[in-house]
Structure 1
Amino acid sequence: MSAILQKSVLPRITERRRHQRVKVNLLGRFMLENKQEYPCQVINMSPGGVAMITPIRGEIGERVIAYIDHIGRIEGKIVRKIEGGFAITVDATMRKRDKLASQLTWLANRHILDLPEDRRHERRQPKNPITKLILEDGSEHICRVLDLSLSGAAVKTKVRPRVGQAIHVGKIRARVVRHLDDGLAIEFAAIQQRDKIDENLR
């Protein structure tokens, strides 16, 4: 019996250790089997699993499709419930898992280096710096965009939403990555198109 137990338990332990979890703070949306979409916040992730904070918790074994900022589309099944959300296993090919591992390595290194965005995107002044900052509660605040790139911006404002909070700047979905002396550093949920970014900021 001990030999049987050893064979059945050891592979699962090896599988868990092979996928190192990375602490992240990524926004996204997910869909349960009822086909309804909900927002989510991924708090840690590995190529084999994801833990997310969600407004609704599905059932163990329920299939989930999620679209995560900087990661893309993932699929899996709920394996356990956590405080404020649930964890899923990632159903993916080895090639997809390798891609996820590379994405997570980049995200981990970015946070270690304290890079709020990809520095390859050149920063510039917006054509019209005045826009609206829209918070999670729907409140709107006039703000000034000090500079921006395709992946983020510095905004002058008196409001101080918490770091990690989802916001909108004009029509662009974003999140707060750092507090500045007179405003916020924000990261866009998706890389913006160069010819449309100014229009989307209005």
Structure 2
Amino acid sequence: MQLAQAVEKPSIRRLEAADRRRHRRVQWAVRVRGLTGEGEEFTCTTVDVCAGGLRINLARPLSKGENLVLYIDGIGRVEGVVARVLNEIGYAVQFTVPQRKRDKIGDQLTWLINKDRLGLSDEREAERRPGGSQVVAIYGSGISIACAVADVSIFGVALKTAGPRPMIGDRVQLGERAGTCVRYIDGGFAVDFRTLHGTDI
């Protein structure tokens, strides 16, 4: 029995580490309503999120391994388990959903996190809608060009435009977010938000 436990614990740690490597976390504060395994209701706020889970601050105590049902604004109902107790009010929750559901959550998070910051319209037929939204890109000495969003992720965006494209390496402002033009695509260019030090991602 002791040998089995000794083998099992490192395996759990490896799985948690692998999950953290697969899913990049971003700061995102949103209201969450939840139910414990005993049916007790609670309300909390997220600290950061990813497709595999989230970190929450909650006044009531939770235990590691406790099952939760979460209702996340903009995402909906998600089941999870307390993976780590971080401090008196902080908990890391890992989603216990199929990979297909995690992929969908990732797409929803991508849209929700970028929608307000980039000033995108909320007229989507799916989680990703190539060319579905219009933004204004500002670069150089204040040059403004109208662009259509070809694709968007948490860390960057691909834009189509009929206007003059920024030079590779130029700083590009899109709504509340700023990044760097990192490459050209057919009829447009790609912006990476991670290339500017201090950029909030």
Q: TM-score, normalised by structure 1?
A: 0.49
Q: TM-score, normalised by structure 2?
A: 0.50
